[in-house]
Amino acid sequence: MQINNFEDEDTIITYEEAASQNSIENDEIFKIYLKMNFNFNQLVNVKEIYKNLPNYKARALVYQSMMLSDDIERKLNLAFLLKDLFLKDKIFQVYNEELSNFLESINPKEIPEDYVGLVKQNLDKNLNSKIKFNNEILHRSKVIKYFFDEGEKKNKTEKELKTVYKKIKKNKKYFVSIKDIVVLESLAYDGFSLPKGLDYSSLSSELTIPEDLYESAKQNKVGLVMLKIVEIIGEDDVRDLDPETIYFLNKILNKLNLKKIRNNILSEALPARV
């Protein structure tokens, strides 16, 4: 990803929205922020200066100032100010992991008393969002760890798939859902051997893909497709997307071999969390 004009508000906002929808890595946004030019006065007086800047530039200024500061209290103050700025534009998902990593990196003994509760509250909230696996349902089984755990071995995933298949095969009332099809098609695309009894082709043939999006994918117009995907998702949380939308997004991303982006979307859209 390359941006030549960091004053182009529309472009930066498009990338921020894409990251919030897992279309690009969140790290890319913070790399962009670090490349923006601010003078010494802006970085020192960040708490006043940011108020007069466009939202994306305000976030960049606060982030740079936070990264440059050696004072724990100031860093924490700026970290939570940045959280508010992301929440304001409904793209906090971009910053969630970055904030958690920053808070976890601080020695608890160095946290000022006024921030102890706030730090704990934010860390606890993040820890409570755990994935709950259910091997009775394919798209919520341990099979899907393959999409969000880079260390997950292929042979382990195949064993998990066989285990899950045995369970659902015994369940005469089990219905292969659209999300199940998404999992199976992606595994097949990645070269997995699927159990012979898992025939999903007749079901998937009934599902549709927006014609203009599919044509753009066929012509390998990656940039255009990504912009359309951002537009389709809009301000919705990926976890709230309907199964039909997840299906055609997955189909398009497989078509373009954008597996990392596909995995980011599936890791949000498939699991049940508690």
| Mean pLDDT, rounded, for 92-105 | 88
| Mean pLDDT, rounded, for 131-144 | 88
Two structure tokens written together for 116:
């102890």
Report the alpha-carbon distance of residue 131 to residue 152 in Å, rounded. 16
Residue 19, C-beta contacts closer than 8 angstroms, at least 6 positions apart: 25, 26, 28, 29, 91, 93, 94
Report the alpha-carbon distance of residue 199 to residue 253 in Å, rounded. 22
Confidence class for position 240, pLDDT limits 50, 70, 90: confident
| Mean pLDDT, rounded, for 237-247 | 85
| Mean pLDDT, rounded, for 9-26 | 82
Helix spans in 135-175 (H): 145-148, 154-170
Global pTM value: 0.54
| Mean pLDDT, rounded, for 2-27 | 76
| Mean pLDDT, rounded, for 80-85 | 95
Which residue bears the tokens 């259910």?
134
Confidence class for position 48, pLDDT limits 50, 70, 90: very high
Residue 16 CA, distance from chain mean position: 12
pLDDT of residue 61: 96
pLDDT of residue 274: 58
pLDDT for 196 beyond 90: no
Report the alpha-carbon distance of residue 256 to residue 265 in Å, rounded. 15
